[in-house]
Amino acid sequence: MADHEKHEIEPEDIEVLRRQVAEEHKMASLGRLLAGIVHEINTPIGSIFSNNQVALRSLEMLKNDLEHLTGETGAHARALVATCHSLAEVDKIACERIGNVIRGLKSFARADSDELHRVDVWEQVSGTLRLLQPEYGRRVVFENLVPPDLPRIECYPGKLNQALLNIIVNAAQAIEETGNVTISASASGDSIEIRIRDTGKGIPESVRDKIFHSGYTSKPAGQGTGLGLTLSKRIIVDLHGGELDFESSRGEGTTFRIQLPLKQKRP
């Protein structure tokens, strides 16, 4: 940045900066709100999980005890136990779904995101995808192909998740009807590369050099702030010393490539 020439600040630049700061504040408040909600839900859902397991185990024991009971009463009691058992099985699946959402929110909205942590990329991507599933899951197939044994990377997890979320949302929005968003990653030397590939419409050549500019959006009003990719670039390049670029071909899709160092430089 030091070799940049000094220039007059244009009013539009101030407006863009103001919007960037507002967006960052919004994301930080959202993170705190989510962390609070997760905390509030953890205890009751933990209780429900536990009770469900106890209920299922008890019903199995009761079923065994009722086996020798003959006559109409026995048949009736066995039918009631079978009904309760199948309801408890449904509750178990319902609990697992809630649990998945909670885990996604938890890894996304880490309250300690202002500190450096070593994180598992597969886990961060899974958490982010779980959050997007309800909105895009019906028309977009998300695939997490990040190898689970990829070395952990040192980063600001909340910020990095925000960047991943922005890029994956963009990928999902680039798909007009149905398609795939695939996230893969590999390690080489002291850095890793994460690739987010979509089968969407591709980025027109005329706008390729603008997509990281603040305020640029190709989406209808209300759908894009025009800040998502700018913030993602700032998080990856300025905050983590990484790289963010993309390759795109019309009608075939786009691949965003994030390169991140395994370790952060100490200030």
Partner 1 sequence: MESNGDKPIVVLVDDEEMVITSVRAYLALETDYRVEGFTDPEQAAGFITQRPYDVIVSDYLMPKMTGIQLLRQAKEAAPEASRILLTGHADKQSAIDAINDVALFQYIEKPWDNTQLLLAIQGGIERARLLRDLRDSMAELASANDSLKDVHRRLIKAFL
- Asked whether position 109 contacts partner 1 by CB under 8 A, the answer is yes
- Asked whether position 29 contacts partner 1 by CB under 8 A, the answer is no
157-173 helix and 71-108 helix, angle to the nearest 10 degrees: 100
Contacts of 255 (CB under 8 A, 6+ apart): 195, 196, 197, 198, 246, 247, 248
3-class DSSP state for residue 194? strand
Query: Is residue 267 classed exposed, middle or buried when 0-12, 13-18 and 19+ CB atoms within 10 A define those classes?
Result: exposed
> CB of residue 47 vs partner 1: minimum separation in angstroms?
4
| 215-to-3, 50, 172, 175, 226 alpha-carbon distances in Å | 25, 48, 20, 21, 4
Site for partner 1 in 111-130 (CB under 8 A): 111-112, 115
| 115-to-97, 139, 264 alpha-carbon distances in Å | 30, 36, 12
- Asked whether position 45 contacts partner 1 by CB under 8 A, the answer is yes
> CB of residue 213 vs partner 1: minimum separation in angstroms?
35
The piece of 48-56, 149-157, 189-197, 242-250 that touches partner 1 (CB under 8 A) is 48-56
Q: What's the order of all strands across the beta sheet hosting 140-144?
A: 140-144, 179-188, 191-198, 253-261, 243-249
- Asked whether position 42 contacts partner 1 by CB under 8 A, the answer is yes
> CB of residue 46 vs partner 1: minimum separation in angstroms?
4
Give the interface size with partner 1 as a residue count (CB under 8 A).
24
- Asked whether position 167 contacts partner 1 by CB under 8 A, the answer is no
Task: Look up residue 114 and give its two tokens.
Answer: 């202002």
- Asked whether position 43 contacts partner 1 by CB under 8 A, the answer is yes
Site for partner 1 in 168-227 (CB under 8 A): none
- Asked whether position 27 contacts partner 1 by CB under 8 A, the answer is no
- Asked whether position 35 contacts partner 1 by CB under 8 A, the answer is yes
- Asked whether position 132 contacts partner 1 by CB under 8 A, the answer is no
Alpha-carbon span 40 to 165, nearest angstrom: 24
- Asked whether position 110 contacts partner 1 by CB under 8 A, the answer is yes
The nearer residue to partner 1, 16 or 56, going by C-beta atoms, is: 56
Name the one residue in this structure whose structure tokens are 């009463």.
Answer: 73
The piece of 1-9, 34-42, 164-172, 223-231 that touches partner 1 (CB under 8 A) is 34-42
The piece of 2-10, 51-59, 128-136, 221-229 that touches partner 1 (CB under 8 A) is 51-59
Q: Answer yes or no: are the C-beta atoms of 150 and 192 closer than 8 Å.
A: yes
User: What residues line the site for partner 1 (CB under 8 A)?
Assistant: 35, 38-39, 42-47, 49-51, 53-54, 57-58, 99, 102, 106, 109-112, 115
